[in-house]
Amino acid sequence: MRFQTPLVPAVLIRRYKRFLADCRLEDGREVTAHCANPGSMLGLAAPGTRMWLEPNDDARRKLRFGWRLVDHGNGHFTGVDTGLPNRVLRAALEAGAVPGLDGYDSVRAEVKYGTRGSRVDFFLTGANRRDAYVEVKSVTLSRTPGLAEFPDSVTRRGAKHLAELSAMARAGHRAVLLYLVQRTDCDRVAVAADIDPAYAEAHARATAAGVETLCFGTHISAEGVALGPALPHAG
């Protein structure tokens, strides 16, 4: 998936109110960018962080820039837009390019399921195949070189999703938790049990109930983001 407009480099001044980031462009101008990430962004939002912004000229938007990438300065990037993984994965699923989830005839997004009126990220159907319920999580935390971790803060919503996937697995459907690592400097994935023990327990219960865990990396540059290789899950 290519960015709609060429990104411009900047330096973070501060992130605040979760969705706002004051930034300094290369020409010295200070601008406020939209941060499409409600999470903690642990390790990614310190003042002075190198970043890439996407400009827009949409008169309906209050802010003229959107924060898309953290530039680690060593050839590696982290994608901070939590809406981007689903767009990348939808294109890959429709193209049959996601190993383990290929061969389905239909890919539908945001489908209601379960008994609580929830919506699953993707619902896959195909002839002679079990229906697949796929929940996607964007992974951006890394505290150990090469290791990506989820979550980066307590997530009751994440535990709820695992319980709903478990119910689908027990009913005989495929239930898949897919971690998309929006970092180019990680080659394995683990649950951050010290950050959210309840989520770690929910993940263990879901695995025992038959929920599958798939992990994929991403190819990230200032031009765009694409699905990367499958990654091992370290537990």
Q: Which helix (H) or strand (E) holds 52?
A: strand 50-55
DSSP state of 183: B
**In the structure, what pLDDT confidence band is assigned to residue 57 with cuts at 50, 70 and 90?**
confident
Whether residues 115 and 167 share a domain: the answer is yes
Whether residues 204 and 89 share a domain: the answer is yes
pLDDT of residue 146: 97
Whether residues 141 and 198 share a domain: the answer is yes
Q: What percent of the chain has pLDDT over 70?
A: 99
Q: How many whole angstroms separate alpha carbon 122 and alpha carbon 161?
A: 13
Note down the domain range covering 161. 84-230
Whether residues 202 and 103 share a domain: the answer is yes
Above 80 in pLDDT, residue 102? yes
Q: How many whole angstroms separate alpha carbon 120 and alpha carbon 164?
A: 9
Does the residue 149 lie in any domain?
yes
Whether residues 35 and 122 share a domain: the answer is no
Q: How many whole angstroms separate alpha carbon 222 and alpha carbon 225?
A: 8
Among 45, 77, 109, the domain boundary falls at 77
Rg from Cα positions in the chain:
18
Does the residue 15 lie in any domain?
yes
Domains in the chain, number: 2
The stretch 31-59 carries a mean pLDDT of: 93
The answer to whether 176 and 212 have CB atoms below 8 angstroms apart is yes
Per-residue pLDDT of 154-212, as tens digits, reads 999 999 999 999 999 999 999 999 999 999 999 999 999 999 999 999 999 999 999 99
Above 80 in pLDDT, residue 59? no
The stretch 138-167 carries a mean pLDDT of: 96
Q: How many whole angstroms separate alpha carbon 135 and alpha carbon 89?
A: 11
Does the residue 30 lie in any domain?
yes
Does the residue 151 lie in any domain?
yes
pTM: 0.94
Burial class for 160, CB neighbours closer than 10 Å (0-12, 13-18, 19+): middle
pLDDT of residue 35: 96
